[in-house]
Amino acid sequence: MQTDHRKTRIKGLFSKYRVLLIFGLCLFILGYFWQASKGSWLKRKISILCDTQRNKTNVLHGLPEIALPRMVYSKPHIFKPPRTDVLTMTPWLAPIIWDGTFNLEILNEQFRQRNTTIGLTVFAIKKYVVFLQRFLATAETYFMVGHRVKYYIFTDRPEAIPNMNVKEGREIVPLRVQNYPRWQEISMRRMEMLSYYSQQRFIHEVDFLVCVDADMQFSNEVGVEILSEVFGTIHPGFYAAERQAFTYERRSTSEAYIPLDEGDFYYCGCFFGGTVAEVHKLTKKCHEAIMADKSKSLEAIWHEESHLNKYFVYHKPTKILSPEYLWDNGLGSPQFLKKKRFLTVPKNHAAIRNKRNSNLK
């Protein structure tokens, strides 16, 4: 009797709470599948985040990672510097570039990854167009081999630019500019024109600018080892001189004035460069100083070169080119000079410049 009563009671309870039991079972099943799907969703989310992070890791400054080819070269040694006969580092940690201090194969690969384009600016005003043929021919042989180059030729005679074929990825770009009666004025106006075109055009077309003179020729390789934020070149006439012997502007009334106890090197005005933004800053500052002097009826002793040297005293270059990158064969062949990469062209200054102002620069 008691057993039957107990069974009847259990059946009653089951009947009474059956709906709740079924509802609870449904909730359990739904909860199980929800948790499973949630785990799968989390896995997918984590996978997406990991993929995104991997993609970010493979990008350097917005550029996709490129696998480097095998490169076999001598291991650098801490206690075996490549050059001990010359200064290779400034007190502000800017390297001075000499033969033997860099591996061009490594540097070429790095700059190719960045897809770098270099602008080479040259001024060929009046009779200076006669130097363009040799300048461009030697540049095609030795300048930035394997990289994209735009030759920006500032001239008042674009029709006189040599009609020559250049390598793939290179282009001759004539830029017509105004002529001036005095060669000193032409020389100083270069800073104005470089500043203007850097802001208006070059910034959209190239990554680096190299600014040189037309009456020069390349005689050995000049490559990406020179490129930096802003660089200058040691003048071949003053590489061993003390600062008191530098032909800085010494008149305190000039914007180019440098005191006798200041200065590091004497930089030439015919080979400097850097990123477009830095070249714009440099040339803008020099042009403003030139015009300030002009308002006082002053001209610095060596014109734009004097202002360039003033700029580099207080805005240190991030890389310095040794005299290998600007040499005059009239100075001989000192033992430390392993290569002569960029040479002055022998010329008659008086025949090239106007007759009234035929003094040597």
pLDDT at 179: 78
Average pLDDT of the chain, as a whole number: 86
- Write 61-64 long-range contacts (CB < 8 A, 24+): 63/113, 63/114, 63/115
pTM: 0.78
- What confidence tier does 346 reach under pLDDT thresholds 50, 70, 90? confident
Q: Which band of pLDDT confidence, cut at 50, 70 and 90, is reported for residue 357? A: very low
Q: Which of 249, 255, 305, 324 is catalytic?
A: 305
Strand-pair partners of 270: none
Q: What is the pLDDT of residue 355?
A: 42
The annotation status of 247 as a binding-site residue, yes or no, is: yes
The reply to whether 4 sits in an annotated binding site is no
- Nearest residue to 249 via CA among 194, 205, 297, 307: 307
Q: What number of CA atoms fall less than 13 Å from residue 292's CA on the CB side?
A: 12
Q: Which residue has the higher pLDDT, 217 or 28?
A: 217
Break the chain into its structural domains and give their ranges: 1-59, 96-353
pLDDT at 340 over 60: yes
Query: Taking 90 as the threshold, does the pLDDT of residue 196 lie above it?
Result: yes
CA distance 209 to 277: 9
At 120-161, the pLDDT tens digits run: 999 998 889 999 999 999 999 999 999 999 999 999 999 999
All residues at 6 or more sequence positions from 137 whose CB lies less than 8 Å from its CB, including other chains: 164
Angle, helices 183-197 vs 304-314, to 10°: value is: 50
Is 124 one of the annotated binding-site residues?
A: yes
pLDDT band at 316 (very low <50, low <70, confident <90, very high): very high
Q: Binding residue per annotation — 196?
A: no
Residues whose CB falls within 8 Å of the CB of residue 151, separated by 6 or more in sequence, listed in order? 120, 122, 136, 139, 166, 170, 171, 172, 173
Tokens 């909860």 locate to: 31
Q: What's the confidence (pLDDT) of residue 361?
A: 35
| 96-353: CATH number | 3.90.550.10
Q: Is 311 annotated as ligand-binding?
A: no
305 annotated ligand-binding residue: yes
Residue 328 assigned as binding residue: yes
Q: Could you confirm whether 305 is annotated as catalytic?
A: yes
Q: Is 215 assigned a ligand-binding role in the annotation? A: yes
